Structure 1
Amino acid sequence: MPSVTAGALPDFKPAPNQGGNIELYEVENRALDPDGHILAAMRARAPWAGRTLLDLGCGSGYWLGGYADEAAEVIGVEPDPRLLPLAADRGPRVRVLHGSAEHIPLDDQSVDVVHARFAYFFAPGCDAGLAEVMRVLRPGGTLVVVGNDLRAGEFAELLQAATGALVLAGGEETDAWWAARGADRNTVRTAWRFTGRADFEAVLRMEFPLKVADPWLAAHPGAVGLSYSYTLFAVDKPAALLRAR
């Protein structure tokens, strides 16, 4: 099993929206996809019931407990040491390890499904991370990557307005990169839905520059959420070839 030592993750860059404001990021996670469309699409493409699931870049582990309700084993891998204790506290049925997309501390062919939400480490030029995922996947296993769809929804409009201030993961270049690697693409349209205006404003200002967030909020004084579109890229590891008799 490859080992990972503290500070030995050159592919890791801290995410300011999560590691910098953990409590507010938890509020954001609770508002994501309130009707469960993303989970349903992920489950339909790569069921994890009774299987071993790796949540790569699991952050504070918000999704780990839910996965553990169905999977035989759930493993979270996270590069940010600030988030590891929080992820480890998500329940006794999850295992959390320090690692990254290019340095997964698991044996070859040891997991069935890999999830990567908002995986900015999977974009054009990130073949090393994809190769590492393929190493730990069992034959016939699946990687599912959730990202932002830049083509539809109010969140996409905000992303477009913030171009130059944020690193965007999406668009035709990303689609072509995944297609060349045998992935299929699915669009899931859903929403952010908060319980109150104050939380919504705080999260929007965390995710976007004030010059983008404040005008949008002023133009939508009663909003406690917005429309949101996601992309799901899924790629399968080829099943093992049967031995010739």
Structure 2
Amino acid sequence: MDEARFPDFTPSGNAAVNPDLYDVENRAIDPDGVLLRAMQELAPWVGKTIVDLGCGTGHWLAMYTEEAAEVVGVEPDPALLEVAGQHATTARVVAGSAEHLPLPDRSVDVVHARFAYFFPPGCDAGLREVLRVLSPGGRLVVVDNDQRHGEFAELLASSPFAVPQGRAEVTDRWWAERGAQRREVMSAWSFATRADLENVLRMEFPAAVADPWLARHPDATGLSYGYVLFAIGPPA
């Protein structure tokens, strides 16, 4: 039903399957705050209206409410939408998707999309919709995996879920053609326990990929993780 309502919606293979473990993963992200600082530099949200597009379990919404004037989580998955509403009581959580934002024109200052919808090519409809709701001077910041750098990228390359060879170049070119700013950020995952790392890697990757990496890194409780950020706003 929701796939028909939001035709751009594809259920996630992590948050939708195991939302509690996905929150464990979220807590491990970016322990030194380098990714967060880069996002803030590309599009400050202090005192502004911010939308978390594809907010999933709502893990990040509470953080935004500490500084933003208004926080809106948009999520097409009805199960995750309910979880997000429970987690982020100070944010507004609404059903929607990249192609179908239930928001007025020029009503939002910042939109964040972490690993949601924007997997070029074929994303123009969602981009048009996001640009519609952004106010003059507003910005969309997309957080994507760096397919080239970091230990997580090495795992991705070994995975049957890996993007096709050359996909990173396709993504870079698609955003460049639309005038987006691109920034690379090297960060990390840092888990409280070894068991958390093992469980998350086995959620994100098949055992044939996760288990050999874990065997080669018997003492690891984290790994290096590269991100690529793309930032774009409406035409002047």
- Say yes or no: TM over 0.5: yes
Q: 1:67 to 1:13 in 2, by over 3 A?
A: same
Out of 143, 146, 157, the position equivalent to 2:140 is 143
Out of 210, 213, 234, the position equivalent to 2:210 is 213
Q: 1:177 to 1:6 in 2, by over 3 A?
A: closer
Aligned partner of 1:38: which letter?
L
- Give the total of aligned pairs: 235
SS in 1 for 2:64: helix
- More displaced, 114-123 or 54-63? 114-123
Instruction: Flag the structure with higher helix content.
Output: 2
Out of 80, 86, 90, the position equivalent to 1:89 is 86
Q: 1:97 to 1:132 in 2, by over 3 A?
A: same
Per the alignment, residue 49 of structure 1 pairs with 46
SS in 2 for 1:109: coil
Shift of 1:16: 1.5
SS in 1 for 2:196: helix
Percentage of matched positions with identical amino acids = 62
Output the TM-score relative to the length of structure 1. 0.92
Aligned pairs for 1:1-245 within 5 A: 7-162=4-159, 164-167=160-163, 171-239=168-236
Shift of 1:165: 2.7
Shift of 1:209: 1.1
Kindly provide the CA deviation profile for residues 206-227 of structure 1, in whole angstroms up to 9, marking residues without a partner as x: 0011111111111111111100
CA distance in 1, matches of 2:117, 2:167: 9
Is 1:147–1:170's contact at 8 Å kept on the other side of the alignment? no
CA distance in 2, matches of 1:145, 1:170: 16
Runs of 4+ with deviation above 4 angstroms: 166-170
CA distance in 1, matches of 2:84, 2:6: 19
CA distance in 2, matches of 1:217, 1:174: 30
Aligned partner of 2:168: which letter?
G
CA distance in 2, matches of 1:126, 1:80: 19
CA distance in 1, matches of 2:51, 2:38: 17
Aligned partner of 2:43: which letter?
A
Aligned partner of 1:33: which letter?
D
Structure 1: tracts of 5 or more residues without a match? 240-245
CA distance in 1, matches of 2:132, 2:233: 12
Aligned partner of 2:11: which letter?
P
Q: 1:95 to 1:6 in 2, by over 3 A?
A: farther
Shift of 1:192: 0.4
Is 2:74–2:95's contact at 8 Å kept on the other side of the alignment? yes
Q: CA RMSD in A?
A: 1.7
Structure 2: tracts of 5 or more residues without a match? none
Is 1:54–1:111's contact at 8 Å kept on the other side of the alignment? yes
Is 2:131–2:234's contact at 8 Å kept on the other side of the alignment? yes
Aligned partner of 1:233: which letter?
F
